[in-house]
Each structure stands twice: as structure tokens, then as C-alpha cells.
Structure 1
């Protein structure tokens, strides 16, 4: 009998009752073909590969991460509770040492969902990785977490949630935002004033192949992870870098994904995008599973795989090498850059415009951050979306210092409930969510 070198947990949830439309790329067939392949190849018969059934996340699990407008039930369907719950189930199996590592093959996906949620962006309503991470932080006392997002699209939602968190390293490897949704994820996006360097974006040109992406992992990602020393590594395992994906322009392969997984050694992987339902996903997912299990995947190839056809050009080689050098330069200068970003300011403000492409909503945010060298800083977000609620969202970070905790409470107490449809206080230090509603 075949035996996995690493005991590996799997969760499948295809979400039969949730699809943007019957023919949309984000539909249940994305996982059904993979599930069939896993069964047909006998992967679940391998000793040490264990299937778990997804549990649901709770309202409190979601509220550790999101401000849902107008409320949780307007944003999430049952499938979203189960999808996030599948990630949580795998995380618990890993943290309880039932398995060495685990892969949540679930949908709907989540990495485009921001901290404030008025609707769906990039097929994402809530951020399932962030919900999972904040659960294990509360339940198991985990502090330093690294998230490596290998989806072809920039993980802008995960970036937003952890923009001000110095204890979360977010690395996104993606197709250049000038050529692909959501149009963000540039080298200059390095994290908020209290957490400069904790966000790392690695934009790559169209037609980057496995040579380029694996070069990024070896030459930039692994040295940074070694320096950061996370307690847990989470892979947002998007698969739309594949050469056959219908909505992207990259040239990665199933072998490349398996090798990436071997190099990265994630404790937990969570499925994100990937829309070549028959030609890529069954092979890529099988490769990731075998790599996590520490098994041979050298025989795994797509029927039409031709390495010469997808080989990247010398120009792409030079681009990738240049990006890696700049990423490392920024990483080693992060403290100096952070001091420059903070300056002598007590508070720093920024304005943002956010488009919800799935629901066609425009949101305007005005953000105020308390500058702090001891924690991520108290955060105040004034958010309004067209024909939606106008809310004030106040976030007190998990490891808040006393000054930032007091500032967050003061903002909440001073907020005029008449001026907003709802005022939220997300007090992570006390693990509570409070709300004030406009009087009738």
C-alpha cells in the first residue's frame, strides 16, 4: 500500500447551491472534476491522506475579520459559512496535530474580500483564509503568520485586512495589475505606516512560466520567510496561473504547482481561483496534494503539456530577476521605510475608492490610523457605498497597546449614531464586536 510521507488532510466542498451563473467560470464544476480525479486515481486510498467533512464557521468567527454591511446575513449564504468552515476544519486538524498539513478544496473563494464588505468582489464575499487565521490565533495562540498567495490575481482583499498588521506577512505573486483584475499589487504597496514591509507584492509579466515563478519562490519568497520566521505558513492556492486558464495570461503547469508546494512547505493550503475546469484543475490539485503528502509527482502531466511551447522569453527572465532584486531590497530596508512613512505624525489618513465588480457597487472610504510603534494601531474607517449603508467601522488590533485600545474605545463612544446607519467596534483585544444603530 502507498503511504504518505506527510500525513495530509483534505476537505472538499463544491458548493452545489452557489454559482454566479450556470455558465460562469466560478461554478461547482470547478471542484467536481477534481473530486472525480482524486477518487479515480485512488488518492484517498493512500495511507496518511485523510478526508474531513467541513464544519461551519460561526458569526463570531466572521466578525473577527469583517464589517459586513448591512449585516452578516445580507453578505453570506450557507455556502460561504461552509467554505470558510472547510478552511477552519483543516486548520484545526493541523493545529491539533491530527495531520502534518492540510488542503481545503472549497468554494466560494475569498481573497478579494476586504475588511469592510458591502457586496461581492472578484467572486468573493468574505475572506475565508483570514477567517481561518483569526480563528486559530484566538483558539491556539498563534501570533506570527505568513500568507503566500499564488493566485494569478492580486490578493487585494487579504492585503487590505492585514495592511496594518506587523505580525502577518502577506506575499502575493500575481500577474502584473496593469494587465489583469483587480489592477493592484505593485511593488510600492508594502503595508501601512505601522507595518511597512509586512505586505510584499511580486507582480510578474504575462507569459511567465514555471521557470519564472519558481525563481521567485527560491530567490525571494523563501529567504523572506526564513527571515520572518512564521509559526504557520498559509498558501492561498489559486491555480489560474495555468497555461490553459481562460481568464489569465500565464504559463504555469501542474508540475510547476507541485514543485512550488514542495518548496514552500505550507502548513495549510486553501483553494482560490483557477478556471480551466477540465484541462488544469484535476492535474494541478492532484499535484498539490501529492506534494503536500511528500509523494512522487514526476509522472503527473496534463495531456497537452509541452514545455517548449510555454517556455518564457529572455525578456521575461530579465523582468523576473529585476522584480526579485527590488523585492529583497525593499524587505531589507523595511525599517527605514517604515520610519519615513510614519514621520512625526500622530495620525495618518488615506482615502480609498473600491469597486465591487461582481455586484457593481462603488464604495468610498476615509481611513484614520493611530501611528504606533508598539502595535498595528487603532483604525477608524468611514465607509459609504452608493444605495448602501453609511457606516463607521472602528478596529482595535489583537495585540493593541493601551493607548491604541483607549483610542479605539474613545472613537466608538464619541461617534454620533445619528450620523451613520451603523457604528461598529471590532475590539480584537477583548474579542468582541459591538454596534450602535441609527435611532428609528
Structure 2
């Protein structure tokens, strides 16, 4: 019998009852064609490849990561909880030692969902990778984790959630935000004052080919991972860099995705975007599964594949080489750059406008973070929307020092519901509890 050299667990959840619209790119057929291809190729008959059934994530699992306004169940459907629960099932199979690798092929996606959730944006409502990661940390100890996000769109939600967390390295490789939603993901987005340097972005130019993606992996991503030495590597496995994707402008192939995962070897992959439902996803997902299982993927090819479709210009090649060098040098100088950034400040604030494209809603945030040399730092966000919602969200990090935790609770106690008409929220990661008033 054909046998995988690395045991792999698969979780499928097509979310039959959730769709933005019947003809929207993010719809259940995204996964159905993949399931058909996996069954047709006999993937589940290979020894060492095992299918798991998803379960529902709990509301407390969501509240560990998000402040949903006004509450979790007013924002999510059962499908969102099953997608997050499916990622948890995949990850637990790895942590329990039942498999060596796992791939959650689930929807709805999540990497555009930020700490505060007023609705859906970028097809995402809750961040299923972050919910999975924080579940693992709560139940299996404080792991040092690297997220490598290969979706064509910058994962601004994952970046926001881990902006202040030095135990989580977030690396996003994506199409340049000047040419694609959500318009973010540049080198100067380097992390918060207490985790400066642990957020890295590689914004690739449109029409980047296979050569460019794999160059970035070899010359930037893998060297940074070698330095960081994570306990777990998570791949936010977006597949919309494919040359047939209808809403992006890149030139990656199933073979390229398989080679990337073969070199990266993530412990857990979670499906994100990818909207070429027939032309890409069945082949890309099969390639990723085979690569993660240590099996031969060299025969995986799209029906219309030819080398010209994944080629890139010398100009693109040179740009990516410079980008990777600049990014890696910034990573190596992160401690020095942090000192320049904080400049003896006690607090650092930033203002942002966040657009919820699915909802047509605009949020204005003012975030303040305590500069702390002992933990990720207390932070709080004053959040208003153009529909009249106004909340204060206070975040005590998982590794909070006594000072940051005490100041967070003091701020919660003195903040009035009369000032913040839609509530005051305190997410205390130490207590693993969301307080509201």
C-alpha cells in the first residue's frame, strides 16, 4: 500500500449554509471541487492520511481573541464556529501526536478579522487561525508560534491580533497593497512597541511568478524562521496567488504551492482565500496535501498549465531580491530599531480607519499601548463607527506583568458606560475571560 512518510490529518468543512451570495467568489463550491478531487485521486486511501470531523468552537474560544460588538452570537453563524472548531480539531491532532501535520480545509475564512469585530470584512468575521492558536496556548502551554500567511491579500486581521505579541511571529507574503485589498502590508508595519520586529510583510509586485515566491521563501522567510525557532509553524494557506484566480494578479501554480509547503513544512495549514474554484483549488490542495505528507507531488498539474503562465520579468525578480534583503536586514536589526521607535516614551498611540467592505461600514480607532519591557503591554482601543457605535476595548496580554494587568482592570473600573454607549470590554488573557459593562 502507498504510505505517507509523514502522517497528516485533514478536516473538511464546506459550510453549505453560509454564503455572501449564491454567485459570490466565496461560496461552498470552493471546497466541493477539492473534496471531489481528493476522493477521485484516492488520497484518503493512503496509509497515514486520516480525515477528522470538525466540531463547534465555543463562544469563550472566540472571546479569547475578539471583542465582538455587541456580542459573539450577534456576529457569527454556526458555520463560523465550525470553521474555527475545525481548525482546532486539526491542531489538536498534531499536539496530541496522532498525526505529524494537519490541514484544515474549511470556510468561512478568517485572516481579515481583527481584534474588534463590528461585522464582516474581506469575507471574514472571526479569525479562525488566531482562535486555534490561542486555544492551543490555553490547553497545551505557551507555544512560540510563527504564522506564514501565503494568501494573496495581506492578512491585516492576523497582523492586528498579534501586533503586540513577541511570542508570535507573523510573516505575510502577498500582492502589494497599492494594487489590491486591503491596501496594507508594507515593511514599515513592523509590530507594536513591545513586539517591534515580529511582524514582517513581503508585498510582492503584480505578476510575480513561481520564481519570486520561492525566492522570498528561501532568502527571507526560512532564514527568519531559523532565527526565531518556533515551536509550531502555521500556514494561512490562501491560494489566490494562482495564475487563474479571478480577483488577483499573480502567477503561482499548484506545483509552486506544493514546493513551497515542502520547504516550509508547516505543522498546521488552514485554508484562507482562493477563488479559482475549478481551475486551481482542487490541484493546489492536492499538491499541498501530498507535500505535507512527504509524498511525490511532481505529477500534480492544472489542465492548462504551461511554464509561460508562471514566468516573471527580470524587473520583478530584481525588485523581490531587494525587498527580501531589506526585510531580512530589518529583522536582524529589530532590537536596535525598537529602541529608536519607542525613544523613552511611556505610551504609544496610533489612529486608524478600518473599512468593512462586506458591511459598508467605516470604523475609526484610537489605540494606546503602554511601553513595557516585561510583557506584551496593556493596550486599549477607543472604537467608533459611522453608524454611531462607540466602544472601549481593553486588552491585557497573555504574558501580562502585574503592572499592566492592574492598570487594565483600573481602566475598566473607571470607564463609564455612559461615555461608551455600546459597552466597555476588558479582555483579560491571564484570567482567560472577557469582562463587559
TM-score normalised per structure 1: 0.98
Query: Which secondary structure does the structure 1 equivalent of 2:296 belong to?
Result: coil
Residue 167 of structure 1 corresponds to 167
What's the counterpart of residue 364 of structure 2?
Answer: 364
Say if 2:235 and 2:270, in contact at 8 Å, map to a contact too.
Answer: yes
Distance 1:266 1:407 in 2: 38
- Verify: 1:108 aligned to 2:108, yes or no: yes
* Kept in 2: contact 1:142–1:231 (CA 8 A): no
The superposition leaves residues 206-251 of structure 1 with CA deviations (integer Å, 9 ceiling, x where unpaired) of 1111110001001100000010011110000000000000000000
Contact 2:145-2:167 at 8 Å conserved across structures: yes
Distance in structure 1 (CA, Å) of the matches to 2:389 and 2:289: 43
Q: How far apart in 2 are the matches of 1:340 and 1:406?
A: 28
Look up the match of 1:286.
Answer: 286
Relative to 1, partners in 2 of residues 1:309 and 1:418: Cα closer, same or farther, differing over 3 Å? closer
Structure 1 residue 389 displacement after superposition: 2.6
Q: Which residue of 2 aligns with 1:156?
A: 156
Q: Answer yes or no: is the 8 Å Cα contact 2:243–2:309 preserved in 1.
A: no
Report the counterpart of residue 140 of structure 2 in structure 1. 140
| Aligned position for 2:343 | 343
Q: Deviations over 1:384-432 (max 9, x none)?
A: 1122531110000000111111111111111112111211110001111
Work out whether residues 253 and 310 of structure 2, in 8 Å CA contact, stay in contact via their aligned partners in 1.
no
* 8 Å contact from structure 1 (residues 236, 270) kept in 2: yes
Q: For residue 429 of structure 1, what is the aligned residue in structure 2?
A: 430
Paired residue for 1:12?
Answer: 12
1:184 equivalent in structure 2: 184
Q: Partners of 1:398 and 1:350 in 2: how far apart?
A: 22
Q: Which residue of 1 aligns with 2:29?
A: 29
The aligned residue for residue 206 of structure 2 is 206
1:90 aligns to what SS in structure 2?
helix
* Partner residue, 1:62: 62
Is 1:316 aligned to 2:316, yes or no?
A: yes
Runs of 4+ in 1 over 4 A off after TM superposition: none
Please give the secondary structure, in 1, of the residue aligned with 2:310: coil
Say if 1:118 and 1:388, in contact at 8 Å, map to a contact too: no
Greater shift in the superposed pair: 5-14 or 400-409: 400-409
Return 5+ residue gaps in structure 1 as ranges. none
Q: In the alignment, which residue of structure 2 is the partner of 1:227?
A: 227
| Alignment RMSD | 0.7
